[in-house]
Structure 1
Amino acid sequence: MNNRTRELTMIALFPALMGATAGISIPLFNLPPITLQTFFVFLAGLTLGPKKGALSMIIYLIIGAIGIPVFSGFRGGLEILTGFSGGFLVGFVFAAFFVGFMKTVKILNNNILSNFTILLGANLIIYMFGAAYIAFLTSTSIWPTLSGLSIYLIGDLLKITTTLYVYVRIRSAFTYEWA
């Protein structure tokens, strides 16, 4: 397989995986549900790098916005992006870019602990976008909204750990360093 075909396949892989696992979610009343989406956001950043990882997430948002059911609970449409999940979904683009960018800084990604810290920072980016948008929609302060997201913390730590476990095993075959 030539490089260009491989790049396009890898970019398309993550929106496909996110859409395929969209039905796996734990609803949380008025908050966005717990999903596997961030697992794939992190993995896209780690394996594709900053630009291609972010592009992969933009494609995911476009696919969902036009109505294809790739968002949590197999939902799709622009109303999902304008609802409480919208900030989190937009945060995916920036988180994937952040992870990919931080992976290019060689002194920061020499061990599992530094990679864990990078993914924790990416998760914080997603939280900030999500909390800021929810605060905007509800006309409240961002700080109480952000503290309300603590319900996601244990699941997100588990997803970060799982992402690192998977990445360590696949990085030699699926890493952006081939590009």
Structure 2
Amino acid sequence: MNIDSYYDTRKNVFERIQDSSTATKLLMSLMMACITGIMAQIIIPLPWTPVPITAQTFAVLCSGLFLGKKYGCLSQILYIVLGIAFIPWFGGMTGGIEVFLGSTVGFFIGFVIASYFIGYITERYASARNFKKMAITIGIANFALIYIPGLAGLALFLGMQGTPIGIIDLLMMGLVPFIAGDILKILGAAALSKVFLPKD
């Protein structure tokens, strides 16, 4: 395959996804929810925080890249709703409303927001579909749109448990241990965007 046919194939696949039927897009959203649930089982518990390191954030970031704002966002809503309802695919094979409303509730909410944001940028601005711009876009989604509600939810959870926490301790529990891994996920997702997303 020469470079021109690669570019043509990449554009055709992207357009087929964009132009596919509603039923197909719903199926793809469900598949991405399943991928998110599977990657949530790649988990590293940390002894000083109820928030574990997981790989699911990578699936969240990719959902917006490949499914766009509407169906990428939907994939994360399906992940949450099905996890609450009956599928134990939150981190550590857990599920249910009590897990959703636990220490990671804000991160779940951030997943939906981040996927929508990445999908919006990907769909609207073809010029943003290069490694550098997508790394910036995904970085904003990860560190602002996931962590701001995530940290707020963690602080609220701890406060309701009778253990209010200062900002430094909050950052040490909900942000600092995850930075290195998140940078790798951001760069990985940006690399996938460079390979698979058309630039026009």
- TM bin (shorter chain): 0.7 to 0.9
Superposed displacement of residue 72, structure 1? 0.8
Query: Aligned equivalents of 1:24 and 1:75: distance in 2?
Result: 13
Superposed displacement of residue 3, structure 1? 2.8
CA contact (8 A) 1:132 1:142 kept: no
- Hey, what does 2:13 align to over in structure 1? none
Query: Aligned equivalents of 2:35 and 2:190: distance in 1?
Result: 17
Other structure's SS at 2:88 match? coil
The letter of the residue matching 1:84 is S
The correspondence of residues 71-150 of structure 1 with structure 2, limited to 5 A, is 71-106=90-125, 109-124=128-143, 125-139=145-159, 140=164, 143-144=167-168, 145-146=170-171, 148=173, 149-150=175-176
- Hey, what does 1:50 align to over in structure 2? 69
Residue-by-residue CA offset, 1:109-135 (whole Å, 9 max, x unaligned): 142111001011111211111100111
1:160 aligns with 2:186: yes
Amino-acid identity (%): 33
The letter of the residue matching 1:158 is L
- Hey, what does 2:195 align to over in structure 1? 169
Other structure's SS at 2:189 match? helix
Superposed displacement of residue 5, structure 1? 3.7
The answer to which of 108-117 and 156-165 deviates more is 108-117
The letter of the residue matching 2:27 is T
Residue-by-residue CA offset, 1:28-61 (whole Å, 9 max, x unaligned): 1223111111111111101111111111100000
Superposed displacement of residue 165, structure 1? 2.3
Please report the RMSD computed on the Cα atoms of aligned residues, expressed in angstroms: 2.2
Superposed displacement of residue 108, structure 1? 5.8
CA contact (8 A) 1:44 1:53 kept: yes
Superposed displacement of residue 142, structure 1? 7.3
CA contact (8 A) 1:108 1:115 kept: no
Structure 1: 5+ residue runs without aligned partners? none
Query: Aligned equivalents of 1:133 and 1:71: distance in 2?
Result: 17
When Rg is computed on C-alpha atoms for both structures, the one with the higher figure is 2
CA contact (8 A) 1:15 1:57 kept: yes
Query: 1:6–1:107: structure 2 CA closer, same or farther, 3 Å change rule?
Result: closer
Superposed displacement of residue 107, structure 1? 6.8
